[in-house]
Structure formats: C-alpha cells, structure tokens
Amino acid sequence: MTAPVPRPLPALLCFDVEDLISPESDDAAMWMAQMLTEYGLTGTFMVVGEKARLWERRGRRDVIEALKRHHLGYHSTWHSVHPTTTEHCLDKDFAQGIEAIWAWDREGWQDTERILGRPLLGWARTGASWAPSIQGLMGRMGRAYAYSRVRLPETSVCWYGGCLGFYDDGVGGFDDAFVDDALFSQRLAKAKQGVDERTRWPRRGAHWTDVFMCHPTRAIHTSFWDGMNFVEGANPPRSQWKPAVLHPAEKLPTIQGNFRRLCTWLRDQTELEIVGWGELIRRYDGQRPHATHAELLAAARRIVDERRVLFTDHFTAAELLLMLCKAVGVGVGGQGGPAATYARPTALGPLSMPPRSSERTWPAAELRSAAQRVIEDTARTGYLPASESVGGEAVGIGTVFVALAQVLLGADSAGGPSDAFYPAEAEAVALDAGTDIPKWIIHPKNMDLSKLLEQTRLQCWTLKPAWTCEDLGI
C-alpha cells in the first residue's frame, strides 16, 4: 500500500498588530511586512482599530504603506481593553450581541478602513474573546471571520451565523523565540512537524491552516502589552497604561535574523500553499443557490431515519427547514408545494431555546399551515421562531422540523422528538468555546458563559461546511 500523497494545504501567514502603548511596536510591524515582501511572501495582518488611529496621529504613513502590500483584517477597536467581545455578549442573545458589538466597534472599523484606505476583509478573534454574535455581525456585513471557534470534524472553514468562519488551528509559537536562536530553532522544528501532520489530516470541504507568524510587539518586548494592564478584568485609564519592557537594542539583529529564517523556510517549503486571506475568502465564498426536489427528499429521508435536527453538505438546518416548509406548502395564492428546485433561503437560528414538545403526532394539514407561519415569522424577523403553533399548541421548532420531513414523504400525521433543539454538532462547538474563552488571562475569572453558550448552540441551525466555488461548480 502506498501512503496518500499529501495535498498542499492552503495557509495564511497571520500577524496580530495590537499594541496600543509602545510606539516601537509600529516599527516591528513595518519591518516584518517589508521583509515578507522582500521574500515574495504574502502576509495577513489583523489590525486593531485604535492602532490604526495611532499611526494616523503619529504620521506613520510608512507603516501603513508597508502593511498595505499584504492582506488586512480587523482585530477589534480596543482588543484587551474591557469590555471585550465576549464581555459585551454575556447577558445578550445573538441579535442583541450583534448590536452591542457594532455600537462599540463601528467607529473603529470605519476609521480603520478610512486610514488604511481599503475595505477590511473580516474580523480576527482577539485573544480568546469569542461570541456567536461576532460571526453574526461579520455575516451581516458580508465579511469573514478568522480564528473562529466553529468547525466540523474534517472541515476547518464553515458557515456559521451567516458568516464564512476560519477555525482557529495552525502552527506558530514564535512570539517569544525570535530573540533566542536556540529556542527559535526548537519552535521552527515544531512548526515544521505541525505542518507535516496537518497535510495528512483527513480533509473534506474547505480548509486552511494558520501559520501564526507573531504579534510583532511581542517579538521586541519581554512580555505582552495587555498582560501589563488588563489582566482578569482590570481596566486602568489610558493615562495609567504601562508599556511592556523592550528587549535591548542590540538584540534586534537576532530578532530580525530569526524572522528571516522563518521567511526562508516558508518561501522554500512545498507542503503549504501560502495565500492572502482575501484569496481564500474568494475561493470559499460560495454556496449552492438552490436544492433540487430530489435532494430535499433525500434530506427528508435522513431526517425521518435519524429523528433529529441536521444539516447536509450544502444546506444548514435552517435552510432545510424553510425549504421543507415551502415544499409541503398548501399552495396559497399559487405559492408553495413541491417544485423542481428550491432557492436557498437565508435565516438565522432561533434566539431562545425551543420548548420541550409533547410526544404526539399532529394531522398533516395542521403541520402544513404551521409551515406557512414558520416562513412568515422568519421573513419578518430574519430568525427562525423557537416554536410554532400547531393545532393551537406551541411546538419546538426542531420537533416541527422532523414532523415536516415526514409530511413531505407523505405521512397523514406526524410528530418529532420532544427535545430536538438544534443539530447534535452544537455540543462540540459549545464545549470548544466554553473551554477556550475562560483561558484568556484578560478575561475576569468565573464569567458566567451559560447564556453565550446557549446562543452558540442555537446558532448551529446555521452551521454547514464550506466548499471551494470550484467544487460547487459556481
């Protein structure tokens, strides 16, 4: 047996540019961008909004011009200054979270696009500060999200909350090592091994890996800028912000020498396909425009067999539900009923937990008219209702989902499990987010994540793998 030949793995060279205190960190971002260009490499720089404003105030056109040769994403307006993205959303539902983040970050986003002179490709998670609403905001704006907490077992780029999200996985760990040749050699060897492993992982659908190049500020300082000031919820006024300690100036040749070693490896390796974020977004930013009736029937059979909320390779559970509603439609005014194809509808997940439903069946006619109301309710709000009235009873939306699949297949009466709240994959997504978010030292201890994680699960109604436009034939 011959081993499968690993395909080159699409990779981004990511930098988080975020120090709001040390002016020296501006120069570090600049020379790194310039060296990348020198090696013919494309980087993706995630820029904090207030940092861009500082460049404007300090007249650092040179920094901006060096970065503009690469791809640019947003890294929030204030990064570790509280409230963080997660903190905004703790007590809010998905929709309220979107409004809260945008109220806080709109000006920063707009200033950054103005100062950098080009549209930002998307948002990159700051520290471990994630919430489903941040992907919802990017989805609403037609932008992507990097370092997402949402993936599927063999797909690292997924649709979630209406947004193309790139799951946080990759190699890196160079931040504190540039200053130390021996340590850098170890980290580089580890990164090479990490790349090698990743090219062999099973892959379906859209993929990427993050070669996390560094936080430019951390390469030249002995610690993180935010660790000095904002740990565990601390939020001193700007006048009291303390800069991190710089490495001595004579260390700069070592730091730059090791950055060059990193560039040399990346230029010469063959396992990765290094691109800019915008190129990958273009490659993956496609969805099937419609489902055929045969496809919808196949999905309905799976739903009936498995008796749960599910999604397919090309359609989220929310999209399937709305297409089922259409297909079983009563044909009011010539609308609804089986068709050759169904346009892919757009809808976000419910904003509250569906109620536990009774274990019974309802006549198909009652489910057909409930389906009509699901379409109307969703069209009015953009969100699936948590429940729909069936014969006067409030039935959980997941229970309706399973029942409608039976109706489409011809059942005279149908029901569903009492506790079909969202796709089963939601548990792994919530576990991942719930494990990661508290790890960030900037976050206060003992944050209550229960509401945020419930919203995370509910939004899995909008989860599905992403594909290349080529795979989709579009």
Toward Zn ion, which CB reaches closer, 146 or 325? 146
Give, rounded to a whole angstrom, the gap between the first and last alpha carbons of the chain: 36
Task: State yes or no: residue 16 binds Zn ion (CB under 5 A).
Answer: yes
Toward Zn ion, which CB reaches closer, 212 or 422? 212
Q: What phi, psi does 278 have (nearest 5°)?
A: -60, -35
**Closest distance to Zn ion from the beta carbon of 52 (Å):** 14
> Binding segment for Zn ion among 95-103, 123-131, 331-339, 448-456 (CB under 5 A)?
123-131
Work out the number of other CB atoms within 10 angstroms of the CB of residue 471: 16
Task: State yes or no: residue 425 binds Zn ion (CB under 5 A).
Answer: no
> What is the widest separation between alpha-carbon atoms in the chain?
81
**Closest distance to Zn ion from the beta carbon of 198 (Å):** 22
Contacts with Zn ion, 73-112, as mask; x by CB under 5 A: ----------------------------------------
Toward Zn ion, which CB reaches closer, 16 or 454? 16
**Closest distance to Zn ion from the beta carbon of 17 (Å):** 8
Toward Zn ion, which CB reaches closer, 19 or 432? 19
d(CA 468, CA 474): 9
Work out the number of other CB atoms within 10 angstroms of the CB of residue 164: 26
d(CA 275, CA 141): 23
Toward Zn ion, which CB reaches closer, 220 or 317? 220
> Binding segment for Zn ion among 124-132, 133-141, 301-309, 441-449 (CB under 5 A)?
124-132
- Residue 76, phi-psi category: left (phi > 0), alpha (psi -120 to 50), beta (remainder): left
**Closest distance to Zn ion from the beta carbon of 457 (Å):** 26
Taking the alpha carbons of 32, 209, 84, 236 in that order, is the dihedral positive or negative?
negative
Toward Zn ion, which CB reaches closer, 43 or 398? 43
**β-bridge partners, 148:** 167
| Residues 6+ positions from 25 with CB-CB distance below 8 Å | 17, 19, 216, 217, 220, 221, 225
> Binding segment for Zn ion among 12-20, 25-33, 34-42, 322-330 (CB under 5 A)?
12-20
In the three-class reduction of DSSP (H, G, I as helix; E, B as strand; rest coil), residue 387 is classed as strand
Burial of 230 from C-beta contacts in 10 A (0-12 / 13-18 / 19+): buried
Give strand ranges (E) for 126-248.
144-148, 157-160, 163-167, 170-171, 209-214
> Binding segment for Zn ion among 99-107, 125-133, 228-236, 237-245 (CB under 5 A)?
125-133
Task: State yes or no: residue 19 binds Zn ion (CB under 5 A).
Answer: no
Q: Calculate ∠ Cα 21-26-31, nearest 5°.
A: 155
**Closest distance to Zn ion from the beta carbon of 265 (Å):** 23
Toward Zn ion, which CB reaches closer, 18 or 454? 18
**β-bridge partners, 17:** 47
Toward Zn ion, which CB reaches closer, 77 or 126? 126
Give strand ranges (E) for 126-214.
144-148, 157-160, 163-167, 170-171, 209-214
**Closest distance to Zn ion from the beta carbon of 75 (Å):** 6
Q: Check if the beta carbon of residue 321 is closer than 8 Å to that of residue 416.
A: no
> Binding segment for Zn ion among 9-17, 164-172, 202-210, 399-407 (CB under 5 A)?
9-17
**Closest distance to Zn ion from the beta carbon of 48 (Å):** 7
3-class SS letters over 334-361: HCCCCCCEEECCCCECCCCCCCCCCCCC
> Binding segment for Zn ion among 8-16, 322-330, 402-410, 449-457 (CB under 5 A)?
8-16
**Closest distance to Zn ion from the beta carbon of 440 (Å):** 10
Toward Zn ion, which CB reaches closer, 227 or 331? 227
Work out the number of other CB atoms within 10 angstroms of the CB of residue 188: 18
> Binding segment for Zn ion among 121-129, 156-164, 169-177, 356-364 (CB under 5 A)?
121-129
**Closest distance to Zn ion from the beta carbon of 172 (Å):** 12
> Binding segment for Zn ion among 120-128, 164-172, 324-332, 340-348 (CB under 5 A)?
120-128
Q: Calculate ∠ Cα 65-14-181, nearest 5°.
A: 100
**Closest distance to Zn ion from the beta carbon of 466 (Å):** 24
**Closest distance to Zn ion from the beta carbon of 80 (Å):** 8
Toward Zn ion, which CB reaches closer, 214 or 386? 214
**Closest distance to Zn ion from the beta carbon of 127 (Å):** 6
Give me the residue whose beta carbon is nearest to Zn ion. 16
Toward Zn ion, which CB reaches closer, 214 or 325? 214
Which pairing describes strands 163-167 and 144-148: parallel, antiparallel, or unpaired?
parallel
Toward Zn ion, which CB reaches closer, 18 or 295? 18
> Binding segment for Zn ion among 15-23, 250-258, 333-341, 429-437 (CB under 5 A)?
15-23
In the three-class reduction of DSSP (H, G, I as helix; E, B as strand; rest coil), residue 47 is classed as strand
Give the binding site for Zn ion (CB under 5 A). Answer: 16, 18, 126
